[in-house]
Homo-oligomer: A and B are copies of this chain.
Amino acid sequence: MNNKNPTATVLYLIEQAIKEYRKISQRNISKIVKDITIDQCLVLIILNKDDKISQNELANLVFKDNASITRMIELMVKKDYLNRTIHKEDRRKFNLEITEKGKKTLELINPIAKINRETALNGLSLEEINLLEKTLNKIITNCKI
């Protein structure tokens, strides 16, 4: 793992970075909202921007499997963060609506999400971040081919 050749280790670093970020994010969220996961938060944030998306589209946006989304939504409905009703035009789909509890939670979550990002990116120049973005996009493209 501690080779000098970064090609052998940089992919582990990506994994480590996202795991550390998820950890502090979950810790900070849990201080304020007890019964929610960061993945569920992300679902709330996305639905808040566009509540007309399907579960399929939602899955793509958060890089998850359809199966995972189905189960997450199930839990979020059970915990009263979301309502789910059948889509009238396409009866295979569902409407996902954020409940009052969900909206209140969003107000608590949004500032924390901002702080989490700022914490993680603290001390990085905009140039560094742009480069990071560019490089990650290349890796993503490489893997998708």
Contacts and interface: CB of A to CB of B under 8 A. Distances in A.
Interface in A1-53: 1, 6-21, 23-24, 46, 49
A131 B131 CA distance: 8
Given A11-B117, A63-B19, A135 B124 contact: yes
Contact of A20 (B12, B46, B144): B144
- Copies per complex of this chain: 2
Interface string A128-139: 111111011111
Interface of A is mostly: helix
A10 B143 contact: no
A124 to B, nearest CB: 6
A16 B128 contact: no
A13 B62 CA distance: 10
Contact of A129 (B6, B19, B122, B133): B6
A142 interface: yes
Contacts of A130: 6
Interface of A: 1, 6-21, 23-24, 46, 49, 61, 63, 117-124, 126, 128-133, 135-140, 142-144
12 contacts: A9-B133, A10-B129, A10-B136, A14-B136, A15-B63, A17-B136, A17-B140, A18-B18, A124-B135, A124-B139, A131-B135, A132-B135
